Chain A
Amino acid sequence: MTTHVGERVSRVDGRAKVTGKARYAAEHAAPDLVHGFVIGSAVARGTITRIDASQALALPGVLQVFTHENAPRLARGDKRWRDELAPPGSPFRPLQDAEIRWSGQPIALVVADSLELARHAASLVRVEVAPAPHETDLEAHRERAYKPPPHERPSVTPPSRGSADKAFARAPVRVQAEYRVPVEHHNPMEPFATTVVVDEDGTLTVYDKTQGVQNVQSYLTTIFGAEAGEIRVLAPFVGGAFGSGLRPQYQVVLAVLAARQLQRSVRVALTRQQMFTIGHRPTTWQRLSLAATRDGALAAAIHEAVAETSRFEDYSETVVDWTGLMYRCDNVRFAHEVVALDLFTPMDMRAPGAMWGVYALECAMDELAVALAVDPLELRLINYAEHDGNEKRPYSSKELRACYHQAAERFGWSQRDPEPRSMRDGDLLVGWGMATGAWESTQRKASARAVLTADGRLAVASATEDIGTGTYTAMTQIAADALGLPLERVTFKLGDSALASAPVEGGSFTVASVGSAVDAVCRELRSKLLKLAQQLEGSPLARLRPEDVEFIGGLLRARADPSRALTFAEVLHRAGIDHLADEVTTRPSKAHEKYSRYTHSAAFAEVKVDPELGTIRVTRVVTAIAGGRVINPKTAESQVIGSVVWGIGAALQEHSVIDHALGRFITHNLADYHVPVHADVPDIEVILVEERDEIVNALGAKGLGEIGVVAVAPAIANAVWHATGKRIRELPITLDKLL
């Protein structure tokens, strides 16, 4: 029997993407479309005292300059501005008051009949501001740290256990170190953009760059007080997002505001510079204190973190929990606090929290291994956690040992000389480092609708997204297998708020959530189809049990006798109906409460460092991932390779530098904010470890979007230590820090 799940299927949307036919948010045409250009604040804090748009408005072709003075007053109250993922606090409301909360905050939207004119007119708008003192430096204001109110799951830092401080003081081997990490910006290749098409009946079709069409749709409907059905949000293609599209961005509000006021179709696209005025991964200070017995068993672990949030929302991440989860230890203390700064609210960025928390933990583990004179991999195995120590419950599955063994063997870890500066390639210092990763595996409530038509074709739909993750392809595979159809007879539709409900596309939970719904609805159609087939007069399948009938190539067929078969089309035709349809909603099972559900990884990295120049190159990465059942190894490997590239960026390059005098990011372009390019990326080897898990969901898939990134930066940082003997505890590790 042909199956597609588990096969290396090429992306079903590949052709659209390589021919330029895939249209992204700013690429949808509309008659009489006008363009909006955003004006951002030049100061970080203050009050707008005057806006003079007269020069801009005098230009022929400029339609309006929207400011807080003339924009309509939208919904009142914080609650109505809170989108599905808003942290506690008071969400930003564009053009609703004169207050400036961060540098780059949108303070006006110029609308004109061409992009160039709108951009030029924006330069003519005069803004007067009464500035107020701002604070953007986390380190300088750590004394203002406070415990943030709970966000979403995992909502609160788990309770500390045992007596970590006493155990730390008594232990024979101890390491304690502070780790610093910068602000990072997501920088998807597609800048945020919205095209609002005003339809003849006044309804708005909103093409938006988002990871959640339904989140944006309900947000817009609420803040604009729109009628149900007045606003529809579409995002058939999204040019990367990495978390930046989880919450509605300000340009979608501005575009809809302008379209409603002008009754014209409007496009608003952010510039790359403006992409640094939206959410970011927060800078975070951490201190790790690890202690062990002489044989390497962890005696105490203390993980303290202070991260930034904005003045108006309490954003927080799961930073410290990993230390109590990833290794066996009876004495653990956690402390996680935030400092409110005059910056925009941080937002989830690929593996939020784990990215920084596991980085610090895994570097500290490397330091502990050195202090113990134990191999770093051996130290992890000595302290291997068979149970989740935070939640005191078993894992649904955990093939981390297989990850360690397979990746170490492929990498050749046993050949490592533990002495730093001991391995060379000509004049270059060679360093080998490793680290562990973990990420949560969750399932959310999701729905899918499926329609099987008389021509034997299956159309499945759900309001999820494909931000490059391969959702179109994975869902097509799952649906095809559930009904035994070839891939080319199945279509999957997504990115439309009018489709069956789905959560935002994030948290590595799309396959687990939407995939489960797709699988369930197709199985429902399968039962219905069989029932219909068995009711037909003289049915060759009459009285067979469901398990004795196979669905293959668009046929229902008796397993014992392939000559007893009916095509789907025959069944529908003879039953006198032209289609079969159903919608199914799936939810996490009760078993979830009894188990901790995580994906795991091990990463091994090689760096070569020029001792004279301090230049660092990553020359090899091997990573093994245990993420449950893999729907499509081809796209899954791509996800992991991309994650490794992100880890290289975090370790060596990415840094949104703030000029604290100005209170703004000054590396606000792709020449100053360095991301890995072709020449920075070596061969990357991905091992997808076999892992069976019958608890996480019916598919056994645990999610692969984020786990690949978690272990990479610490593995590289540890490799840099091994190459140079220098422990750089501040990311990114740039040559100035090595010299």
Chain B
Amino acid sequence: MNDGNYNDACSRITLRVNGAAKQLDVSPWTTLLDALREQLHLTGTKKGCDHGQCGACTVLVDGRRSNSCLSLAIMRDGAEVTTIEGLAEGQALHPLQQAFIDHDAFQCGYCTPGQICSAVGLIREGRARTPDEIRELMSGNICRCGAYPQIVAAIEQAMGHEEGR
């Protein structure tokens, strides 16, 4: 590494974040997570481990759930990124956001944005049909407060909502 030019190694990228194009100057080693939090001040996406082990940083990249701490921002040039801040439509909460409130599917709230984004991706994948399948496919998102049963109930409620559409 050329230490003397550490700050000069930036590249300009464009991300479509929550529907709006954002130009960013990022270092090659800046993660998508840090770009969102530190540069775009979208702090709804959380840093829990920075190693892809907890899921708190889950966002939707081109519609698929992804640990934003495991991708470098520069790899996502041109991508569509949806964060927790982009799920509600105005004052109307996303059905999953409402279901999380209804079922008390969180306590401290720190893993919550990742759980909700992961659940959006899960429902879109269409692979989970039973509570056991939801549990298995949500196991990348840790909740240390232990709200797991309520999270599963909230996802079931939102899945019902999707099907009812």
Give chain A's interface residues, CB within 8 Å of chain B: 10-11, 13-24, 26-27, 29, 55, 58-61, 114-117, 120, 124, 187-191, 237-242, 269, 271-272, 467-470, 634-635, 637-639, 641-646, 669-671, 675-679, 681, 683-684
Contacts and interface: CB of A to CB of B under 8 A. Distances in A.
B104 A20 contact: no
Q: Lowest 10 A-B CB distances belong to which pairs?
A: A20-B44, A645-B146, A239-B110, A468-B108, A468-B107, A17-B109, A642-B146, A20-B84, A27-B43, A670-B53
A115 B38 contact: yes
Interface in B21-49: 27, 29-30, 34, 37-38, 41-49
Given A681-B146, A681-B149, A11 B43 contact: no
B126 interface: no
B135 A681 contact: yes
A15 B110 contact: no
B136 A678 contact: yes
A240 B108 contact: yes
B104 A678 contact: no
A435 to B, nearest CB: 18
B138 interface: yes
A22 B50 contact: no
A18 B7 contact: no
Instruction: State the majority secondary structure of interface residues on B.
Output: loop
Contact of A642 (B27, B139, B142, B147): B147
Given A58-B3, A677-B142, A11 B101 contact: yes
B142 to A, nearest CB: 6
Contacts of A189: 46, 48, 54, 56, 108, 110-111, 142-145
B161 interface: no
Contacts of A643: 146
B4 interface: yes
B112 to A, nearest CB: 5
B146 A20 contact: no
**Interface of A (DSSP majority class):** loop
Contact of A469 (B50, B51, B104, B107): B107
A242 B146 CA distance: 12
B3 A18 contact: no
Interface string B93-112: 10001101110101111111
B146 A23 contact: no
Given A269-B47, A641-B149, A678-B152, 12 more contacts: A20-B44, A20-B83, A124-B3, A240-B107, A469-B107, A669-B49, A670-B53, A670-B54, A671-B51, A675-B144, A678-B148, A681-B146
Nearest to A18: B97
Contact-size category for B: 35 or more
A355 B148 CA distance: 22
Given A10-B101, A117-B6, A679 B135 contact: yes
Nearest to B85: A20
B44 A13 contact: no
A328 to B, nearest CB: 33
B119 to A, nearest CB: 11
Contact of B107 (A60, A124, A638): A638
B134 interface: yes
B139 A19 contact: no
Contacts of A271: 50
B88 interface: yes
Nearest to B41: A29
Contacts of A644: 146
A670 B142 contact: yes
Contact of A239 (B46, B147, B150, B151): B46
A677 B139 CA distance: 5
Interface string B112-131: 11001000000000000000
A676 B148 contact: yes
Contact of A59 (B6, B143, B146): B6
A29 B40 CA distance: 11
B141 interface: yes
Contacts of B88: 19
B146 A641 contact: yes
A237 B107 CA distance: 11
A15 B51 CA distance: 28
B48 A272 contact: yes
A574 B98 CA distance: 42
Contacts of A467: 108
A669 B107 contact: no
A190 B107 contact: no
A546 to B, nearest CB: 36
Contacts of B45: 20
Contact of A20 (B6, B47, B113, B138): B113
A240 B108 CA distance: 5
A240 B54 contact: no
Nearest to B138: A678
A556 to B, nearest CB: 33
A60 B134 CA distance: 49
B101 A14 contact: yes
A20 B43 contact: yes
17 contacts: A14-B106, A18-B93, A20-B83, A27-B37, A114-B27, A189-B56, A189-B111, A189-B145, A191-B47, A240-B107, A240-B110, A468-B145, A469-B107, A634-B104, A638-B147, A641-B147, A679-B139
Contacts of B136: 678-679
A603 to B, nearest CB: 14
B106 A646 contact: no
Contacts of A16: 109
A271 B53 CA distance: 13
Nearest to A237: B109
Contacts of B53: 272, 669-671
B150 A10 contact: no
B134 to A, nearest CB: 7
Contacts of B147: 638, 641-642
Contacts of A241: 108
A671 B93 CA distance: 33
Interface string B41-75: 11111111111011010000000000000000000
Given A20-B43, A60-B6, A679-B139, A191 B48 contact: yes
A678 B44 contact: no
B20 to A, nearest CB: 16
B125 to A, nearest CB: 15
Contacts of A24: 43, 46, 110
Given A59-B6, A189-B46, A641-B150, A22 B135 contact: no
B134 A59 contact: no
A726 B85 CA distance: 51
A678 B107 contact: no
Contact of A670 (B49, B102, B106, B151): B49
A505 to B, nearest CB: 12
A604 B116 CA distance: 31
